[in-house]
Structure 1
């Protein structure tokens, strides 16, 4: 992922220092922490992405108050936090991130906010993809930091439900460490939610088992579904944006090569994504003579649906993705 300069940081940091002075670690924090431990005030948690925020809500239940930074259908690869986001971080007791370099902006936002509390990296322990193949890192991943790490690995880890289970387990541990009085409730919620993730995984597997292997060919807006492709034994033909990030663009040569590959492999469709414009995908689909899947059927690659809809949850968005893919490729 490319590192983009953020001009707002100078002003944001100054505003944070002036407006938020003392918010990060004053006596008020100890009062709120004691109140939370006694069962009064919910634990204040900032979660970066829609997926991570949904995980925190499921594990924390009514014992947490979640502020979600990135809203639905916003591209996380090109996100810039606002002063309000920095204020939310300053007021939090725990910050939870997706990890693997997805939130390039977060370290600077934390520094600007003065936040000194725990940051839970939900990706710890996940086996990461690197350049289209697996790199099994295990515990070493927990120690890796910095932009080099972000450049090398695929951050879209939640698209494999088995990874999602690791993520929610990390979140449960982080919440329990921050509020030990509620650890039992968090553990119970984890057991319930992990069972639901297992069912999602089994349902996805059963759905793809009905689809002939020759039809399991995927073309998407950008390379966001590598973990999903690997988990359900699909064939990734290519992407409209030839990158794990969304800032790259197809060259004329790459465009013609993708069209040729779609035709030669017998790929049936191109899938657009909810957080990305569909125009280029539509143009490529027209050239290749295949259907484009978009609108209400667009996949949730980097985001979830609107709050209050089934797709506004991780489980609902992943079910939607599988239903759309299987229906389009099986038709």
Structure 2
């Protein structure tokens, strides 16, 4: 209810801002791309925005809503965000419920374009559990929300960029050939990322492939590269949950029993709880510059500021720490 009120208030402020602008566009009009102008695209997350830039190239002008190292689970749109959506031709989202604020924001903006759900066709996993626990939950008839962190499997990223290319081509048919060519080139890079990540973990004994992270953001990564998910500091897909005393004791015991070597912090989350658990469990904390990119990417202009660079960073850090 609170978030709905905030979005409604922001929409009113955006209307005032739009009326004061000098661009000649009113809220609710989708920006066209005549005369070779770049296609106006709003992308929600850093990962999706990077995908759009790689597929769209110079043919798109991307407004990225969620900035690096901002927790997407706590994101609140600004008046500028609503205004950008109102002027866009396309809005591209991650999907799978990650942007639970988006539908209300789009409605408030008067957006008249197309929403591209990049998750369409991705095989979703149920979140909050390891694969074994998922199976037991299914047997018991329990229902769990789907894990939205789909991009951590490059094969899923392949599907996401194909969905994006299809959406861009439909909105700007004149550039369809360019978008298709860019997709082919970037798809090869995603294949190379997947192969190199698989090769990196192949050098690590299966008994050492144990992962403890800040929250349940790496389920698709764990499944793809056959790791063992021991647990997380925040036992949830989002970051609003808290570890109970019983869960804390259980996680520490599990870390000790499995011989897990490290707890990995994430760039968009504070490391204090992870550090406290690591101290009790007698294992090292991997953080600082080595923090994993779970929900975000690195700073623009750095290798980690791209999807490919962030995923390579994650793999290098995990393999190095677990091999030590």
Question: Scaled by the length of structure 2, what TM-score is found?
Answer: 0.91
Distance 2:299 2:57 in 1: 19
For residues 8 and 240 of structure 1, what CA distance do their matches in structure 2 show?
A: 30
- Look up the SS of the partner of 2:54 in the other structure: helix
Deviation at 1:176, TM superposition (A): 0.3
Residue 304 (structure 1) shift: 0.1
Query: What is the aligned-residue RMSD (CA, Å)?
Result: 1.6
| 1:282 paired residue among 263, 275, 279 | 275
Aligned-pair distance for 1:33? 2.3
- Per-residue deviation, 1:7: 3.5
Please give the alpha-carbon distance, in whole angstroms, between the structure 2 residues aligned to 1:9 and 1:301.
26
Query: Structure 2: how far apart are the matches of 1:34 and 1:78?
Result: 33
Which residue matches 1:236?
229
What does residue range 193-272 of structure 1 map to in structure 2 within 5 Å? 193-272=186-265
d(CA) in 1 for partners of 2:310 and 2:81?
25
Matched, 1:96 2:89: no
Displacement of 1:183 after TM fit?
0.3
1:180 aligns with 2:183: no
Stretches of structure 2 lacking an aligned partner (at least 5 in a row): 20-24, 132-142
Measured against aligned partners, the alpha-carbon deviations of 1:137-181 in whole angstroms (never above 9, x if no partner) come to xxxxxxxxxxxx9x6100000000000000000000000000000
8 Å CA contact 1:20–1:113 kept in 2: the answer is no
Q: In structure 2, how many angstroms separate the alpha carbons of the residues matched to 1:82 and 1:24?
A: 15
Alignment counterpart, residue 83 of structure 1, candidates 67, 75, 79: 79
- Displacement of 1:34 in angstroms is 5.2
What pairs up with 1:5-84 in 2 under 5 angstroms?
A: 5-20=3-18, 23-26=26-29, 33=32, 35=34, 38-39=35-36, 41-84=37-80
1:278–1:34 Cα change, 3 Å: closer
Residue 6 of structure 1: CA displacement? 4.3
Contact 1:220-1:270 at 8 Å conserved across structures: yes
The answer on whether the counterparts of 1:100 and 1:123 sit within 8 Å (CA) in structure 2 is yes
What does the per-residue CA deviation read over 1:19-49, in whole Å, with 9 as the maximum and x for residues that have no partner?
43662455xx5xx5251xx42x100100000
The answer to whether the 8 Å contact 1:47/1:53 transfers is yes
- Give the deviation of 1:11 after TM superposition: 1.3
Q: CA deviation at 1:133?
A: 6.4
> What's the secondary structure of 2:316's corresponding residue?
helix
Answer yes or no: is the 8 Å Cα contact 1:24–1:116 preserved in 2: no
| Cα pair 2:44 2:93 within 8 Å, conserved | yes
Alignment correspondent of 2:138: none
Residues 240 and 97 of structure 1, relative CA distance in 2, 3 Å threshold: same
